[in-house]
Each structure stands twice: as C-alpha cells, then as structure tokens.
A and B are shown apart, each in its own frame.
Chain A
Amino acid sequence: MKETPLSNCERRFLLRAIEEKKRLDGRQTYDYRSIRISFGTDYGCCIVELGKTRVLGQVSCELVSPKLNRATEGILFFNLELSQMAAPAFEPSRQSDLLVKLNRLLERCLRNSKCIDTESLCVVAGEKVWQIRVDLHLLNHDGNIIDAASIAAIVALCHFRRPDVSVQGNEVTLYTPEERDPVPLSIHHMPICASFAFFQQGTYLLVDPNEREERVMDGLLVIAMNKHREICTIQSSGGIMLLKDQVLRCTKIAGVKVAEITELIQKALENDRKVRKEGGKCGFAESIANQRITAFKMEKAPIDTSDVGEKAEEIIAEAEPPSEVVCNPVLRTPGTAQVGEGIENSWGDLGDSEKEDEDGDSDEAAVLDGLKMDTGIEISNHGNQDAPIVLSDSEEEEMIILDPDKYMKKVRTQTISTKQAAVPSKRPTKKRKKKRAVD
C-alpha cells in the first residue's frame, strides 16, 4: 500500500509551528517523547516504546565456528526489520533504502563501537565461539526509528543471558539453565543514538522528530554516544550544510539525553532483576496496563469480587468428579477422532450428513432423542432440507431456499429499494458537515 501523502497545508503548518517553537504534541524543542521499556518472560527480550514508536528486541545465541581471521572473537549480528504492521507503506521482503541505512547505522553504533566484549564469547579458540544475534522488529512507526531501535538493541543485550559452558580438554559441556545459572554478556558501555532534525537549511533544530516532522525536515543528524560522552558514531543525512557550532551544540544535547536514557535503562533493568529475584510476575502480559480503548463504553456494572476465589473453590469442591476419561482415541467417522472427555465432536456430524447417511443417522438420532422429537428421524434422513429448525448449527442447511426463484427476485428488489430509501433520509445531515464557522 502506498504511503499517505503529506498535504501542502500540513507541511506549511508544521513549518510555521516550528518557527514559532511549537510542536504538534506540545513538546519543547529538546524534549524526548516518553520512553517505556518492558521485558518479556525470556531473557534478552524487550519492547521499547518511544512515544508511539515501538520496537521489539530479541537476542539469541548459537555456538558456531569463528571467522578465519578472527579465531578468538565471537560474532555479533544485528538485524532490523520494518514489518508492514508498523506502517502500511513498508513493503515486506524488499530492502528499502531506509532499511539499509538504519541497519548500517545500527551496526556502526553497536558493533564498531566495541561495546560488547567479543573475546569473552570465545569458547575454544578457532573452533567454537558464540554467535550473538540481535533481531529488532519495528512494531509501530511514528518517527525516529533509529533511537528506539538502538535503545532496544542495547537493552536486549544487557538483559540477555547465555547458557554457561565449560571446557575440559577437548570436551565442551553446555549447561541448561537448571544446572547452572546462565551468564550475562560483558558489556563495556551503552551506545545510544540521538537524532536531531533540521529545518529550513539548518535554521531550526528539533530533538526526537516524530513521523510528520521527519517528513518535512531538511536534514537529519544522528549521534551515537555513551554516558561517558564518547561519540560512537555520527552521521548526517539529507545533504544540509551544518556549521561546526551546530554539531558541537548537538553533541552537548546528545550527552545530556544519553545520560538520561542510560539512567532509565539501568533503572528498568534493575526493576526487572528485582522482580525476577523475588519470583514475581514478569513478561509483556504483566507490563501492559489496562489501556483505555475508547470513550464509547458501557457503564460498568458493579460486581462483588471480594470472595470470588473462595466461591470458585467451593464450586470445585462440590462439583462431581469428572467422568471417566477415555484414553484411546474414539473414531466417530473416518478422518475424525476423539481423545479424552468433553463435548462430542461436532465436526463429525457435519461430515455425516453429507457423506455417510448410515453413520449420520445414528449420531443425529441421538441428538434428536435428547430433544424428544417425534419427527426427528425422518428429518435427519433427508437431512438437508428441513433440518435447519432442529439442527441449526450448520450454515449450509440454512441456505436452502424452498422457493428459490421467487425469493431471489424479492431479495433483489428489496435491496434496491432500500438504497433509494436511504439516500433522501441522509440528505439533511450532509449539509451540516461542511465548515461550521462558529463565533
């Protein structure tokens, strides 16, 4: 699907708003959107939300043989994917320019800055090393993908634990998490990207541009930095000429922002560690707040939930023990089987009425007996015609029309006339839609 184009009036409005130092979401020039970090139940899995932009990070590891020229170094692999779910304009299976650019930048930010000790990933020199793979998925796109992705990558790497290994002679033993606690990666520092959007040939600057601001910007400067104010990567795109002062100012801002974000990441990791240690609940399902869907909701009905747990236990205690469990699969009809207790398989019944009359009879007769119907068996014999009243489950049965020709005509005339009827009734409301100039 094509991207929604940006209209002239939006472009003009955005630029004028930026001139007046105002942003669409009420932020100041140097403000980041709110960052939220949540962790999955597994190690090395996180979701980072930057405003409405959302990136999922997942780290996995594998024992592989090392590259020939680097026999004692583990392998790092980064991959960012822009799924179509994030924005309809992203096409699957196509390497867009944006995607290539983002992937390159991520690699430069994380691998080339040597933030992860690759030598510690070596198990047997020249034979076995760990390959760490970081997969990043964009779940929702609202601008500034690179910042969110770099945060997600470093958070996922910090959170990740690889299985412990031991080497005895030529033997490599891999321990499961139950045998030995998995070990974290050794991370030297946390490089984080900060984006600066420039407008009007560099006259105006905004931090953390959102999607609409990205579409009207002239140029973008991305600075990857760690909290020690060491620049890991710097990239300017969009072909604008920046002055030395501007770049220096941006690095100063980036330093402040990166320090704040690093603190936030450490707090989030600390929280997660505490929760896991105490054996509390963790994972995405726990971290999702009860979100408001919409204001068009029904009034809440007061329900007393104080003693629900006790009541449920009471019911369980009083309930009859479950009926005998059938261990062998029961063949009702060819192609279907039933194991265990539970409701009878209704798929079989459907097949019956079509394929095998004999089998179908017995099954349906049982159903009809339950309903205490006298005419039951007759009906089920030439099943499809009159059955809908009794066995109203099957869609097919309902579609049979007793007097097809007449019926079809009626349907058609009816729908046409209803359309005509609908049109005039709408008219008075239409006038209201346009331009209410209210004073």
Chain B
Amino acid sequence: MAEAAAVGAESLSSGQARAARAVLGQLVLPGEELLLPEHEDAEGPGGAGERPLRLSPAPRSRVRVVCGPGLRRCGERLLVTKCGRLRHKEPGGGGGGVYWVDSQQKRYVPVKGDHVIGIVTAKSGDTFKVDVGGSEPASLSYLAFEGATKRNRPNVQVGDLIYGQFVVANKDMEPEMVCIDSCGRANGMGVIGQDGLLFKVTLGLIRKLLAPDCEIIQEVGKLYPLEIVFGMNGRIWVKAKTIQQTLILANIFEACEHMTTEQRRQIFSRLAES
C-alpha cells in the first residue's frame, strides 16, 4: 500500500500522465490522467516535448476502449475519478478491452443492467416504489413480473424484498427495475421469500463474491446448505436451515471484508470442526 501511494504521489507531483498499462493493479487517485497504450509512444514519459506539432489528427488505427466505473474520458486520455486499483480486462476479439477502477465504497449508484435487491416501500397506481439504496427509489411496474397481466397481478406487499434488474438507470431519470429478462422469463428474479436475513456489505465485497470462481462462496457452501442472493447494491439475503446458521453465515460474510485469505481459511476450518 505504501509503495503504491508513493508511486501515486510521485506521478501527481510531476504532473505527467502515466501509461495505463504500467499501473494495472496499482493504486490510482482521482484527478490522475492515464495514457492509453496506442498513445504511449507519442506522449510517453520524456517524449512529450519532442512531439512534432500536427494540425490534424494523424490517420491512426482507432482501438475501441471501454471506460468503466471510476474512469472518464478526457480527450485522448483517461481521467481517474475514483480512488482505487486500476483493472483491465482483455477483449474477446480485437480492441483495447475494458478499463475500470476497483474502489471501495458503500453508497450505491444505479447502473443499467445491475441485479439488485430492493425493498418495496409503496404501491402507487400500477407501479411499486422500490428502495435500492440509491439516491432515489426505483419504480417497478406490476407488469414486469413473469406471467403478470392486467388481470393477474403479482402478490407484492409493502416491505417485501425484490430481486430485479435495472432497465433504466441514468442521472436524469428515475431508475426503473424489472423482474423479467428480455424473453419475459423470471430467470430467478422476483419476490424473495419471507424468511431469511438481509444485511449490507460494501460494494467491493459484493463484486468479489460475484467473481466467477470465488473461494468464499465455495467454502461457505461446504459448511451449511443455504440459499443466498447477492444484489450489486451491497445487499445480501441469506437463508439457512436454522436461525443460528443464518446468523453465522451473515457474520462470516460481514467479516470477510477485513480478513485475509489465511485468516478466512482458519475460521472456516474451525467452523467445519464444530
């Protein structure tokens, strides 16, 4: 951490943009500028002064780069807007892939396509108001459930938990959720059962848990049989056979935030024995 911070401070003080490739997995700070690989040669360290002046942009092969959370486009560079570690995903075929900043936060900002857990706060006309932890409640049409028609309304009460997906999420409009996919199937979404416990963790932990081969999930699965739902808004719903087991699971997930892999393995082995 100290090393990364030192690098960050150095680059900020010199005011020079670093190459995005060079800082992958390292700490970046808001306000920092990053160079994309195709500009590195021209504008890289040292070369900044000697570049000949051009009146029009040179015919350069444009590579498509996706700018993920925590980054913003700034001319031909990337501007960092969040503090965290820079990540990159190689593209499937051609292009520059996806860059994003893996940051640690608790406040959720709705993103289109995210699967979240919401709490129904009101029924108004033909929509439900759902609290998702964002700055304003999302709306959910009663027709956006599998098999729902004008006559056949879904049975949703105020206070119920909803697992759904955002179809509209931008800064100017009220976010909108649905509980069906594009084929009209529920696909696991809908009202979550009446039992179980809902709790909140940080958004970083949720992303870690949802990673394709997350160790924590596999280890937890060996402990007890359980049902679990992760919302990208930091909410986790968990249900095990007994109250005691559910409480243990909830506490494990909350503690995972601050545990190293070693500590976690110790705790799991201790739990498995008892």
Question: How many pairs, one residue from A and one from B, have CB atoms within 8 Å of each other in the complex?
Answer: 163
Known contacts A13-B195, A389-B49: does B121 contact A434 (CB below 8 Å)? no
Which residues of B202-242 are within 8 A (CB) of A?
A: 202, 204, 208, 210, 212, 217, 220-221, 225-230, 232, 237
Of the 9-residue stretches A38-46, A117-125, A287-295, which lies at the interface with chain B? A287-295
Chain A residues whose C-beta falls within 8 Å of the C-beta of B24 in the assembled complex:
none
* Contact yes or no, A295 B256, CB < 8 A: yes
* Contact yes or no, A22 B66, CB < 8 A: no
Given A11-B159, A296-B208, A298-B26; 6 other pairs, CB 8 A cutoff: A2-B131, A9-B192, A20-B243, A22-B247, A418-B67, A434-B189
Chain B residues whose C-beta falls within 8 Å of the C-beta of A294 in the assembled complex:
104, 202, 204, 257-258
B193 at the A/B interface (Cβ < 8 Å)? Answer: yes
Taking a contact as CB atoms closer than 8 A, the residue among A1, A22, A389, A438 that contacts B226 in the complex is A438
B147 at the A/B interface (Cβ < 8 Å)? Answer: no
Which residues of B13-52 are within 8 A (CB) of A?
A: 15-16, 26-27, 48-49, 51
* Bound Cα distance A435, B1 (Å): 35
B74 at the A/B interface (Cβ < 8 Å)? Answer: yes
Known contacts A9-B194, A423-B113: does B51 contact A295 (CB below 8 Å)? no
Secondary structure dominating the interface of A: loop
B274 at the A/B interface (Cβ < 8 Å)? Answer: no
A371 at the A/B interface (Cβ < 8 Å)? Answer: yes
* Contact yes or no, B57 A403, CB < 8 A: yes
Known contacts A414-B64, A434-B163: does B121 contact A5 (CB below 8 Å)? yes
* Contact yes or no, A373 B49, CB < 8 A: yes
- Nearest 9 A-B pairs (CB), nearest first? A434-B188, A438-B221, A8-B159, A301-B3, A7-B119, A418-B66, A13-B197, A292-B258, A433-B115
Chain B residues whose C-beta falls within 8 Å of the C-beta of A5 in the assembled complex:
119, 121, 131, 159
Q: How far is the CB of B48 from chain A (nearest CB, A)?
A: 6
Chain A residues whose C-beta falls within 8 Å of the C-beta of B244 in the assembled complex:
20, 22
Interface residues on B, range: 35 or more
* Contact yes or no, A431 B228, CB < 8 A: no
Closest to A424 in B: B92
* Contact yes or no, A435 B225, CB < 8 A: no
B residues sitting closer than 8 Å to A (CB atoms) are 1-4, 15-16, 26-27, 48-49, 51, 53, 55-57, 62, 64-67, 73-75, 85, 92, 95, 98, 102, 104, 113, 115, 119, 121, 131, 133, 135, 137, 157, 159-161, 163, 165, 187-189, 192-198, 202, 204, 208, 210, 212, 217, 220-221, 225-230, 232, 237, 243-244, 246-247, 250-251, 256-260
Known contacts A13-B195, A296-B85, A402-B56: does B228 contact A436 (CB below 8 Å)? yes
